[in-house]
């Protein structure tokens, strides 16, 4: 179990605080899921520098290639890390006729995303409003993200376990970014999630 202070900062020697208020975007009132990302950067420092720029975007945690975990945003604040969400009922082949009617003719991205965001959880994927993001330092090379290092995977597994226990998040509600939004298919593809996916 993680200990959080009043500002939503993790108090644990495995987590280094590198919080940037520039990537925080309003209060995170409820947490339903976790989304795993990859950065397209060669070092954690370059990503942390980017987070300090005005109007920058990021996630709540950043895991360096050597496994160092940085907390980059308060767990009580939203970050802009997901984007337009895909249709969960289409992906899981569970759409009701009413769902299909609302989605008919809608384009990927904005149009489907606007329909989905109106649905209550868990009829939709977690989004910026109710999820925690974990970035992993990785480069995008030759048309794909490089796989997570062994140290990154170890840290990611530890962090996912701690967060799900502390915040009572269902382990099945952890997704790769490309599963929930229109992103590079390889983003997070090498990450092993807690439910064995």
Partner 1 sequence: MRKIIFFILISISGYATSLESMLLESVQALPLNYRIIKTCGDWQVKNTHGYYRLVVADVYDGAGSEVYVQWIAHPTPEQKSKLIKTLAFSELNDDHSQYLIQTANCEKKGGFLYVTIKALYEHDEKDLVHRFSIKLIDIGKYELREK
| Interacting residue with partner 1 among 12, 16, 22, 57 (CB under 8 A) | 57
Pick from 98, 90, 115, 47: nearest CA to 179? 90
Q: Which two tokens stand for residue 52?
A: 């300090």
Q: Which of 8, 9, 12, 40 binds partner 1 (CB under 8 A)?
A: 40
Q: Where are the alpha helices (DSSP H) in 52-96?
A: 88-91
What DSSP string runs through 9-56?
-B--TTEEE---GGGEEEE-----EEEEEE---S-HHHHHHHHTSTT-
| Cβ 69 vs Cβ 63: under 8 Å | yes
- Name which of 8 and 83 has its Cβ closer to partner 1: 83
Q: Kindly indicate which of the ranges 1-9, 68-76, 77-85, 156-164 contains the residues binding partner 1, using the contact rule CB under 8 A.
A: 77-85
Residues near partner 1 (CB under 8 A), total: 20
Q: Which stretch binds partner 1 (CB under 8 A): 3-11, 14-22, 80-88, 92-100?
A: 80-88
Cα-based distances in Å from 91 to 87, 94, 95, 107, 124 = 6, 8, 9, 15, 10
Task: By CB under 8 A, tell whether 124 contacts partner 1.
Answer: no
Phi-psi region of 19 (alpha: psi -120 to 50; beta: other; left: phi over 0): beta
Q: Please tell me whether residue 131 binds partner 1 under the rule CB under 8 A.
A: no
126 binds partner 1 (CB under 8 A): no
End-to-end CA distance of the chain: 23
Interface pick for partner 1 out of 128, 136, 155, 164 (rule CB under 8 A): 128
Angle at Cα 167 formed by Cα 184 and Cα 6, nearest 5°?
Answer: 110
What is the rounded radius of gyration, in angstroms, for the C-alpha atoms of the chain? Answer: 16
Told to check if 81 binds partner 1 by CB under 8 A, we report yes
107 binds partner 1 (CB under 8 A): yes
In the complex, the smallest distance separating the C-beta of residue 128 from partner 1, rounded to whole angstroms, is: 6
Pick between residue 79 and residue 152 the one whose CB is nearest to partner 1.
Answer: 79
Among 24, 32, 37, 131, binds partner 1 (CB under 8 A): 37
User: Does residue 106 belong to the site contacting partner 1 (CB under 8 A)?
Assistant: no
Residues that bind partner 1 (CB under 8 A): 25, 37, 40, 57, 80-81, 83-84, 107-110, 113-114, 128-129, 181-184
């Amino acid at each position: 179990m993680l200990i959080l202070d009043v500002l939503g900062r993790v108090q644990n020697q495995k987590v280094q605080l590198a919080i940037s208020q520039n990537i925080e975007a309003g209060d995170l009132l409820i947490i339903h899921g976790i989304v795993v990302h990859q950065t397209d950067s060669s070092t954690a420092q370059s990503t942390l520098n980017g987070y300090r720029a005005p109007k920058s975007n990021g996630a709540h945690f950043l895991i360096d290639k050597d496994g160092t975990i940085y907390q980059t945003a308060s767990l009580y604040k939203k970050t802009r890390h997901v984007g337009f969400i895909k249709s969960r009922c289409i992906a899981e082949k569970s759409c009701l006729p009413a769902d299909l009617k609302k989605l008919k003719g809608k384009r990927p991205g904005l149009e489907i995303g606007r329909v989905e965001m109106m649905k209550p959880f868990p009829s939709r994927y977690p989004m910026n409003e109710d999820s925690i993001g974990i970035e992993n330092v990785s480069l995008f090379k030759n048309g794909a993200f490089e796989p997570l290092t062994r140290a990154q995977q170890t840290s990611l597994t530890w962090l996912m376990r701690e967060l799900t226990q502390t915040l009572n998040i269902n382990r099945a509600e952890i997704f790769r970014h490309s599963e929930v939004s229109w992103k590079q298919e390889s983003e997070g593809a090498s990450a092993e999630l807690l439910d064995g996916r």
